[in-house]
Structure 1
């Protein structure tokens, strides 16, 4: 029952988003600045956020969940490490919308969505850079197998990178009951293809982009960086660098469960069976990644098949890389304010710049 509740909620929200994208710009002029004390309902009722189409349902799995969360403040809804950057991101979304910027872009065409309705939820959220013509970053948030973290990991990262001058896109990709048949890899590939096709319109160069991935989003980004299984098979631009926070390297015991839940009765390669160590090839892009010793979600991080093995594999293959290990950096903290990981993105951007040109 929960999966159907989720699908109905997702479908209703997607339809509402598509309707809001057609709202005139003047409808967004009366927005107020958001703070930690803004409630979810106030955020969602704001004319600019409505008009932007930005997806703000990052915890709700049902109508009951929506009722529970809608009167909670952003401070209550978001992780403490992310709330300030995430609130700033929502203010930036509202500002861009008031300035006539289209924030939400459908990755798939109307014809593709008509043939497969789940594709309608695959979206890019656009944060224009301060100067046109530069490199862009594409954020692949974690998903926890249920829904992606567009406002928290996605929004907080977009805000910090925007403050450093970059154009940023946050990807909402298929997950939960729609993540079978390698859907997240396909969505990421088509997002890169879409950005490349509209590079002039977005004011970005298509080459040397950074993929910023968290948790399971980090695994998706890491697999996409493989030429055979990822960017090469979809004939899209190779990433210039991977910037990964607490990435899943190997799903270990979850692999059979994922197959039963999402691909039962099917054969063939599935991304969640992949260990990132086996994805590293001669064409693999430079990698900056970090994790925390107190990350209880990835408690197997010190065990074979996780981060230290990934580090050694990159070393053996002569791939430029940097691994950072923090004492205090729990899971799902994104930009990591208030933890040992605070400021990691500045170092990661320096790594990206050092290993790309243009």
Structure 2
């Protein structure tokens, strides 16, 4: 299902009118309806919110005359200088929204982190690499406002699910690469992150394990035959190096959703960079929305972050 969304955003300078196409096909409910017959025991996960945890929605982190982009912030009002977790939603680079990360964000926040669910431009509105620019701009904004969000700007992890996992891995492996930065966004901070958490997101678009097709081609501006450069450039595996931060891969048992992972781990091992793989057996893709798997996802994530950030 696709619809045209007209948004009026009130800001101090006036009104920003935004008109762009939105694909509403990927939701938690629609995913549940597809999975419930095969997995009759699943339940849509409900997060536990700590009594001192704050949730602030729809903070504008970027705006120009035509567009405002938002994030949701989650943090403990009594704990300062927490590690931060940037959260990128799934949806095939085309659908989904930041609200879908609220459950994970609330749970991880309750365990001592500041979390940020990011809105970014999807492929009906903007093609690759604009969404990458958006998330990196959000990271800079969060660091610029670190005290407000009770976050340590030197302890930032980027976490993404499915297509968001692909983006998270690319953001982490391109630390300091100006080719992936929005030159128009002015900030005193960098978009560098200190950890990657890739939840069932591919590491290479063209790979023997990969099954990427129409959705990837739409985001990347053409099929592999039409635009091989983008398919290579958008693959985290192409950038993995001694500069890649420690990485956690949380996967379903479907190989296509971790295409290139083992090759990337080989590069990390060569450079003595820490990594972990956690496979949630007999789980579907989009497992992070549902119990019994969301709790497992949160446990793996926070155990890894505790080890990395001590």
With the shorter chain as reference, the TM-score category is 0.7 to 0.9
**For residues 163-185 of structure 1, what are the alpha-carbon distances to aligned partners after superposition, in whole Å with 9 as ceiling and x for unaligned?**
21221110111113123141111
Residues 82 and 108 of structure 1, relative CA distance in 2, 3 Å threshold: farther
C-alpha displacement of 1:287: 0.4
Residues 348 and 258 of structure 1, relative CA distance in 2, 3 Å threshold: closer
The equivalent of 1:188 in structure 2 is: 135
Residues 218 and 239 of structure 1, relative CA distance in 2, 3 Å threshold: same
Task: Tell me which structure has the larger Cα radius of gyration.
Answer: 1
Match of 2:93 among 145, 161, 172: 145
1:341-356 pair list within 5 angstroms? 342-356=295-309
The equivalent of 1:53 in structure 2 is: none
- Structure 1 ranges of 4+ moved more than 6 A: none
> What is the alpha-carbon root mean square deviation over aligned residues?
3.6
Match of 1:291 among 227, 236, 251: 251
**Structure 1: segments with no counterpart, 5+ residues:** 23-57
Q: Which TM-score applies when normalising by structure 1?
A: 0.66
CA distance in structure 1 between the aligned counterparts of 2:96 and 2:140, rounded to whole angstroms = 21
Q: Quick check: 2:159–2:168 contact (8 Å CA) kept in 1?
A: yes
Match of 2:204 among 237, 242, 250: 250
Q: Quick check: 2:249–2:278 contact (8 Å CA) kept in 1?
A: yes
Please state if 1:85 is matched with 2:46: yes
Match of 2:236 among 276, 285, 297: 276
Residues 348 and 231 of structure 1, relative CA distance in 2, 3 Å threshold: farther
C-alpha displacement of 1:355: 1.9
Q: Which TM-score applies when normalising by structure 2?
A: 0.75
Q: Quick check: 1:219–1:247 contact (8 Å CA) kept in 2?
A: yes
Q: Quick check: 1:173–1:184 contact (8 Å CA) kept in 2?
A: yes
CA distance in structure 1 between the aligned counterparts of 2:178 and 2:169, rounded to whole angstroms = 11
- Which structure dedicates a bigger proportion of its chain to helix? 1
Q: Quick check: 1:289–1:323 contact (8 Å CA) kept in 2?
A: yes
**For residues 223-276 of structure 1, what are the alpha-carbon distances to aligned partners after superposition, in whole Å with 9 as ceiling and x for unaligned?**
111246757853714212112211122223647874566636x98963775332
C-alpha displacement of 1:310: 2.8
Q: Quick check: 1:231–1:238 contact (8 Å CA) kept in 2?
A: no
Q: Quick check: 2:220–2:231 contact (8 Å CA) kept in 1?
A: no
- Which structure dedicates a bigger proportion of its chain to strand? 2
Q: Quick check: 2:246–2:308 contact (8 Å CA) kept in 1?
A: yes
Match of 2:160 among 200, 204, 213: 213
Q: Quick check: 2:173–2:243 contact (8 Å CA) kept in 1?
A: yes
**Structure 2: segments with no counterpart, 5+ residues:** 13-21, 37-41, 182-188
